[in-house]
């Protein structure tokens, strides 16, 4: 395999020193996932990465990026010694960006960043080689790590950029120097760090600050804060493209058919009619897919190939993945349909998920209840600031709840929703996901469709795991 970083290149990029010659085929910050040949970056986060350098070298790391020689490591070991590890990682990322021929797309938004990044990976992958992070690496270390891992001969790169506080996005965008920058949407998320949604819009729009002279801005055109996005894009972009459902958008969704296992969309991409499908239910996926087609237009790529590739994309675990969980080894009808959206939650993404659940079709006359139900397990939405209680209570008035049979609530904030629900829809309330997971086997029945959603720190994935553990293996049947 060709070297991603030689010692000479890494020294030149970081202004560091090394006692020997080496070549790295990858970059890692975690010894648990480190592959032989990786450059191990000893970041200081929850733990000091220097404590794991010896282990990384034992596992076959080509070298370690450090700010001092760790205890128990010989000074003749393959170490890249720098003043500051985070700054050196950023320097590697900038050198990687400078040497690549890739066309770079940066994506941000309050909802849908990661799923849109994955749509772009699939769509651009039909027209060239693509580099994108395998996880939601979108913060101050995730973006430079993604860039530092970028092969020099890749055709496209997709960089996801997130934020928790003001001033985070612009430096990361300037590091990525995107050719196209996209904002999926702006919604009430991270309100604890911002005075209002207008502040969130300005922070999201700062992604356009990294665009080059020919850079193109792609953003949602139907928002109350769209004028803010338009104004900031106008300062930094050579060209602006909007997407959404309104008639004024350059790329617009006109009709959406949400089905149990997919969403079919008709619309217009610039002046041309377009018909496409994504293999996951949800209007929000349909709109973000139109944004992906807007990026395809910005890059001057083949729209027909992009539409075909969209039909092959599926949502990942924790982000709207739908799967059928068999409950009986013989009777295949005995199953539960799971919508795994447990990775994160805010008011906008929860509203979209509830709409998907409301449109799902349970199956009757197959379980002990005999009536298939739509059931939601909802965990707290975090980082909503002074409005957090009101935003949780407001869920009770969401029109989608009329079609949902039972809502189970997890966490102190979701207790406010639980109290506001009609008694007929009020399921259980627990303070933790672990306690709710213990009830799953008693709560669910064959024919049910169940949604699990909550902020990452709530650990609603434990409820998802409990549902998956209800699975019974399908027997092998001969002929």
Residue range(s) in the chain whose domain bears CATH number 3.40.1190.10: 100-311
Regions of the chain where pLDDT drops below 70? 1, 190, 473-479
Check whether 114 is labelled as a binding-site residue: yes
CATH number at 100-311: 3.40.1190.10
pLDDT for residue 475: 45
Looking at residue 377, its pLDDT comes to 98
pLDDT tens for 121-162 read 999 999 999 999 988 889 999 999 999 999 999 999 999 999
Q: Which residue shows structure tokens 């860039």?
A: 147
Q: In a 10 Å sphere around its CB, with 0-12 CB exposed, 13-18 middle and 19+ buried, how is residue 166 labelled?
A: middle
Residue 111 labeled ligand binder: yes
**pLDDT of amino acid 321:** 87
- CATH 3.40.1390.10 positions along the chain are 5-84
Task: Output the pLDDT for position 288.
Answer: 97
Q: Is 109 annotated as a binding residue?
A: yes
pLDDT of residue 364: 92
Quote the CA–CA distance of 382 and 455 in Å, as a whole number.
6
In the chain, where does the domain assigned CATH 3.90.190.20 lie? 321-472
Residue 112 among known ligand-binding residues: yes
Sign (positive/negative) of CA torsion 219, 221, 222, 224?
A: positive
300 carries a ligand binding annotation? no
User: 332-348 as b/e, with b when 16 or more CB fall inside 10 Å?
Assistant: eebbbbbbbbbbbbbbb
320 annotated to a ligand binding site: no
Instruction: Please give the pLDDT value at position 56.
Output: 97
> What CATH code would you report for 5-84?
3.40.1390.10
Pick the CATH number of 321-472 from 3.30.2350.10, 3.40.50.720, 3.40.1390.20, 3.90.190.20: 3.90.190.20
């Amino acid at each position: 395999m060709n070297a991603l970083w030689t010692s000479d290149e890494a020294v030149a990029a970081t202004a560091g020193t090394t006692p020997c010659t080496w070549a790295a085929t990858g970059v890692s910050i975690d010894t648990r996932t480190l592959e032989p040949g990786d450059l191990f970056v000893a970041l200081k986060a929850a733990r000091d990465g220097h404590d794991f350098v010896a282990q990384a070298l034992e596992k076959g790391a080509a070298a370690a990026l450090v700010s001092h020689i760790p205890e128990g490591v010989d000074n003749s070991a393959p170490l890249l010694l720098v003043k500051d590890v985070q700054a050196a990682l950023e320097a590697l990322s900038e050198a990687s960006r400078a040497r690549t021929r890739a066309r770079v797309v940066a994506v941000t938004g309050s909802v849908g960043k990661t799923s849109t990044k994955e749509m772009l990976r699939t769509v651009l992958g039909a027209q060239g080689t693509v580099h994108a992070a395998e996880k939601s690496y979108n913060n101050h270390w995730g973006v430079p790590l993604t860039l530092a891992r970028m092969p020099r001969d890749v055709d496209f790169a997709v960089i996801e950029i997130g934020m928790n506080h003001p001033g985070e996005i612009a430096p990361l965008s300037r590091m990525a120097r995107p050719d196209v920058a996209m904002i999926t949407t702006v919604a009430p998320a991270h309100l604890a760090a911002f005075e209002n949604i207008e502040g969130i819009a300005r922070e999201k729009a700062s992604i356009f600050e990294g665009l080059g002279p020919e850079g193109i801005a792609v953003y949602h055109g139907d928002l109350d804060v769209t004028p803010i996005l338009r104004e900031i894009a106008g300062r930094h972009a050579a060209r602006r493209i909007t997407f959404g459902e309104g008639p004024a958008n350059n790329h617009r969704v006109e009709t959406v058919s949400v089905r149990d296992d997919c969403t079919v969309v008709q619309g217009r991409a610039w002046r041309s009619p377009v018909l496409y499908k994504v293999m996951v239910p949800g209007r929000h996926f349909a709109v973000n897919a139109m944004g992906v087609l807007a990026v395809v237009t910005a890059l001057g790529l083949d729209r027909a190939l992009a539409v075909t590739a969209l039909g092959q994309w599926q949502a990942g675990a924790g982000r709207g993945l739908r799967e059928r969980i068999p409950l009986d080894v013989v009777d295949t009808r005995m199953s539960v349909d799971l919508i795994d959206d447990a990775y994160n939650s805010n008011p906008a993404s929860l509203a979209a998920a509830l709409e998907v659940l409301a449109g799902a079709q349970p199956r009757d006359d197959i379980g002990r209840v005999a009536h298939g139900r739509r059931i939601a397990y909802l965990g707290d939405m975090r980082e909503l600031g002074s409005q957090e209680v009101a935003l949780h209570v407001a869920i009770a008035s969401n029109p989608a709840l009329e079609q949902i049979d039972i809502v189970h609530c997890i966490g102190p904030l979701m207790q406010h929703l639980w109290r506001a629900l009609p008694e007929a829809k009020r399921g259980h309330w627990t303070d933790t996901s672990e306690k709710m997971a213990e009830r799953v086997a008693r709560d669910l029945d064959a024919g049910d469709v169940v949604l699990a959603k909550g902020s990452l720190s709530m650990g609603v994935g434990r409820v998802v795991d409990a549902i998956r553990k209800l699975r019974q293996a399908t027997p092998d049947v001969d002929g």
